Amino acid sequence: MNPLYQDMPVSIFAHMSALAVEHKAVNLGQGFPDFGWPEDVLAKAAEAVTHGSNQYAPMLGLPPLREAVAAHYGRHQGLEVDPAEVTVTSGATEALAAAILALVSPGDEVLLFQPLYDAYLPLVLRAGGVPRFVRLAPPDWRITAEALAEAFTPRTRLVIFNNPHNPTARVFTQGELALLAEACVAHDAIALTDEVWEHLVFDGRAHLPLASLAGMAARTVKVGSAGKIFSLTGWKVGWILAPRRLGEPIAKAHQYLAYATPPNLQAAVAYGLAKEQAYFDTMRAAFAAARDGLAERLRAIGYAPLPAEGSYFVDVDLTASGIAADDASFCERAVREAGVAAIPLAPFYAERPVTNIVRLCFAKREETLAAGLDALARARELMRGP
Ligand code: PMP
Ligand code: GLN
């Protein structure tokens, strides 16, 4: 067995979701919505299952989806994308795996921002990459020129950058992106940008793809996911946008990971990506309202939520909430004894974890949030400090 996997814990998302089922707890842990998916996109998928092909899709993806992805980014983010630069994958997870396997050779340094989405590091290590971390510090989780200068070296091959950021819910500013772009150009590094939360940015923010910054189009591999755009996380339809020189080796990695992605879901996503602006505005407004509702009521029961600029998540500072337990103990007791699942932040660190913050998913119906908040109030009573 490869030693990397021998002592590896089960992903915190799988762990907490299994506990939520076992203890019949409200699941505010793993990030999935319990409302908000478009019925017409479901109908398209059903029609494609019944009347379309159920055989292997083309390896690079259905042409109508590759065209729809290219057009979507032109319309929403001003990117000029040739459909030939799009590879459809089985979720963003497979896209990340294919990109990391194809771009990282043993000994290459890979820059990661910590806290980091849990899939990145095992893939980098399995590819033989040498991780270097840029630490983002709460409560503002900012990228600074000093931190980048310390982490980049002449051996930096790849930078894995997630924006909007899970688990901090940050949307990085144009200034922060400019610092990163300058460093990538100066070090001739490739950027792998995980932008799965690109449509979930709130309070009038616009998503700025790293690829749009000066010097970045030719060195950026952008990853997206239909799961987040259509509130259908189980679909696992994602994609990669990359200039040919990078996209071609990545497609070769993809051909021996998943090879192809269910054609009927691809057809429905192609249809959905062409939706009018109103769909995206309405979705964003609904999730922003859910975020506000959760944050406000968390404060009312004594919790201290951190700002949440994008994604499905609000983080809570346990110390500032008067709770003595660390994040892992809080989450273990909350799900078993109080009936609510949350996600600790410590597993998003490879070293020196922050241990007093937990993540809550607000992409839930009113009744789910209400039940979750009742349970969180119980959890606070159980674990309040002296
Ligand atoms: N990257 C980030 C930052 C995520 O939050 C997630 C899942 N929420 C993924 C990748 C995985 O996306 P998918 O489900 O499309 O594989
Ligand atoms: N991305 C989801 C989250 O952050 C989890 C995805 C998964 O469970 N692999 O909650």
Q: How far apart (Å, rounded) are the C-alpha atoms in residues 170 and 307?
A: 8
Mutate to test the pocket of ligand 2, among 30, 233, 236, 361 (most ligand atoms within 8 A of CB): 30
Ligand 2 mean position to 13 CA, how many Å?
Answer: 6
Q: 314 forms bridges with which residues in the sheet?
A: 360
- Tokens 């939706």, residue located: 275
Question: Is 196 touching ligand 1 by the criterion CB < 6 Å?
Answer: yes
Q: How far is the CA of 321 from the CAs of 74, 295, 325, 335, 374, in angstroms?
A: 43, 13, 11, 18, 16
pLDDT of residue 386: 80
pLDDT of residue 385: 83
pLDDT of residue 268: 98
> Which numbered ligand comes closest to the C-alpha of 117?
1
pLDDT of residue 59: 98
Mutate to test the pocket of ligand 1, among 116, 165, 166 (most ligand atoms within 8 A of CB): 166
pLDDT of residue 259: 98
Question: Is 129 touching ligand 1 by the criterion CB < 6 Å?
Answer: no
In the chain, what are the domain boundaries? 3-30+278-383, 39-274
Question: Is 233 touching ligand 1 by the criterion CB < 6 Å?
Answer: yes
> Going residue by residue through the chain (386 aa), what tens digit of pLDDT does each one get?
999 999 899 999 999 999 999 999 999 999 999 999 999 999 999 999 999 999 999 999 999 999 999 999 999 999 999 999 999 999 999 999 999 999 999 999 999 999 999 999 999 999 999 999 999 999 999 999 999 999 999 999 999 999 999 999 999 999 999 999 999 999 999 999 999 999 999 999 999 999 999 999 999 999 999 999 999 999 999 999 999 999 999 999 999 999 999 999 999 999 999 999 999 999 999 999 999 999 999 999 999 999 999 999 999 999 999 999 999 999 999 999 999 999 999 999 999 999 999 999 999 999 999 999 999 999 999 999 88
> Which numbered ligand comes closest to the C-alpha of 113?
1
Ligand 1 mean position to 118 CA, how many Å?
Answer: 10
Q: How far is the CA of 181 from the CAs of 271, 273, 344, in angstroms?
A: 33, 28, 30
Ligand 1 mean position to 117 CA, how many Å?
Answer: 8
| pTM for the model | 0.98
Ligand 1 mean position to 205 CA, how many Å?
Answer: 21
Residue 234 CB partners (closer than 8 Å, separation 6+): 32, 227
Ligand 1 mean position to 93 CA, how many Å?
Answer: 6
Ligand 2 mean position to 386 CA, how many Å?
Answer: 34
Residue nearest to atom 2 of ligand 2 (CA): 31
Question: Is 91 touching ligand 1 by the criterion CB < 6 Å?
Answer: yes
- Domain 39-274 CATH assignment equals 1.10.420.10: no
pLDDT of residue 100: 98
Residue nearest to atom 12 of ligand 1 (CA): 92
Mutate to test the pocket of ligand 1, among 93, 113, 114, 230 (most ligand atoms within 8 A of CB): 93
Question: Is 30 touching ligand 2 by the criterion CB < 6 Å?
Answer: yes
- Domain 3-30+278-383 CATH assignment equals 3.40.980.10: no
pLDDT of residue 76: 98
Residue nearest to atom 8 of ligand 2 (CA): 13
Question: Is 31 touching ligand 2 by the criterion CB < 6 Å?
Answer: yes
